[in-house]
Homo-oligomer: A and B are copies of this chain.
């Protein structure tokens, strides 16, 4: 999930100076209009320490009119608060209609930290999140516009940030021993946060994950999202429209600098020159397959099932990888499910039905050559599914996969990535190779025209469905040999890790 907020997005000083004055003006003017509106705006900030929560709130206070905006931060409970139900402190502070409330360390803080430090278990954690959702839903049903920002830093970036702050005499007070304590817990903090965001990102109160490393980038992003959300709400009160995690900015009104920073996707971060020599490949493939065979048998014997999911560009080499894997398995025990158009029977039911029906028994391997992710890839880009349908599919898919892993099934998901040039070269070769020409259809050529849209869809898919229990693996596949070795290694590593539990 957080891969998408560790891309090193930046805005230069010059670009920032060009954009800032207009954005400030727009915000302050919107705030004036908002005063006449019949709804309040609640903006929550959570995230990794050092990712700029406080700095962003200060900036907004500087830019906007403080008479119609309140900032609330929460520490230990007061005596008065301890004497009442936990949400009383937040009810007290609800902004009236027509105003903006900024909330720091609010209702998400305690459940998050208590789960990280293990003082509550998963059941209690879910209950707390459900109570929060009830609260937010009640406010949203009544008209409140709720925006929740998760300010993110990668592990290294957080370390760096805390060090930089500490060494700055003017800023060092910002770094407390608690911050370092939290840093020690970075991995579990992020794992709990992922769970929290997945469960509480709802159409009526969506989370926006913001990369926090560059102050200019994060300031423009947060301010633009707030501006666009208020403006959209003032224009039309679309009830129930899922705003989603990523597609929250109106591209039309986005500053160019921000636009290009935000168009950067997780795929741009891949080193597509990775390859392996033919000799190396010949040595390492049998080793990798032998390792896979050992682990595969251990998995089978312990009655664990495995589900492998392959997605990727046309001609990215999915079939080739699958064949190298199944070569190390027993044909009685695995099944490859190629996903094409649904049958009549499948078409008469929910789109997930066809994937449920193919689930293997305990100890089996099910390999999906394309999968339920079609809903948020091809069906999204080609508009076979409505926006509401593919947007809610992220949650449906996460639920589905949680049911699989909950039943002990081990999931590996691969996105086989090639560059557009490499795809073109492969298409040309296919055209000229008689026994491969059948693989190439008009549709393949047409799909190339939507490359950028597919990239955005892949980016959002990773953001919303790459989870600790079922992470996405992006495979640099310009070199087929490199891709095969890497994918097999990942399956082996996953099996090894999961078999220990």
A interface residue numbers (CB < 8 A to B): 40, 80, 83-88, 91-92, 94, 96-98, 121, 123-124, 126-127, 130-131, 134, 138-139, 141-142, 144, 239-240, 305, 345, 348-353, 356-357, 359, 361-362, 389, 392, 395-396, 399, 403-404, 406-407, 409
Contacts and interface: CB of A to CB of B under 8 A. Distances in A.
A91 B138 contact: no
A87 B403 contact: yes
B86 A138 contact: no
A134 B123 CA distance: 16
B399 A138 contact: yes
A89 to B, nearest CB: 10
Contact of A123 (B87, B94, B126): B126
A362 B83 contact: yes
Contacts of A134: 395-396, 399
B138 A94 contact: no
Contacts of A126: 123, 126-127, 130
Contacts of A352: 91, 138
Contacts of A350: 94, 138-139, 142, 144
Contacts of A141: 389, 392
Contact of A85 (B91, B127, B404): B404
Given A96-B349, A126-B126, A134-B399, 10 more contacts: A83-B362, A85-B359, A85-B403, A85-B404, A85-B407, A86-B403, A92-B357, A126-B130, A138-B352, A144-B350
A92 B40 CA distance: 45
Copy total for this chain: 2
4 closest cross-chain pairs (CB), A and B: A123-B123, A96-B348, A85-B407, A91-B356
A97 B399 contact: no
A85 B409 CA distance: 9
Nearest to A346: B96
Contacts of A361: 80, 83-84
B407 A94 contact: no
A349 B139 CA distance: 9
B349 A88 contact: no
A352 B92 CA distance: 11
Contacts of A395: 134
A367 to B, nearest CB: 17
A85 to B, nearest CB: 4
Contacts of A84: 359, 361-362, 407
Max chain B Cβ within 10 angstroms of own Cβ: one of A40, A85, A127, A399: A85
A127 B138 contact: no
Contacts of A139: 350
A201 B126 CA distance: 19
A70 to B, nearest CB: 13
A353 B91 contact: yes
A349 B353 CA distance: 44
A139 to B, nearest CB: 6
Nearest to A348: B96
Contacts of A348: 96-98
Nearest to A80: B361
A141 B91 CA distance: 32
Contacts of A403: 85-87, 131
Nearest to A124: B123
Contacts of A86: 403, 407
A393 to B, nearest CB: 9
A482 to B, nearest CB: 35
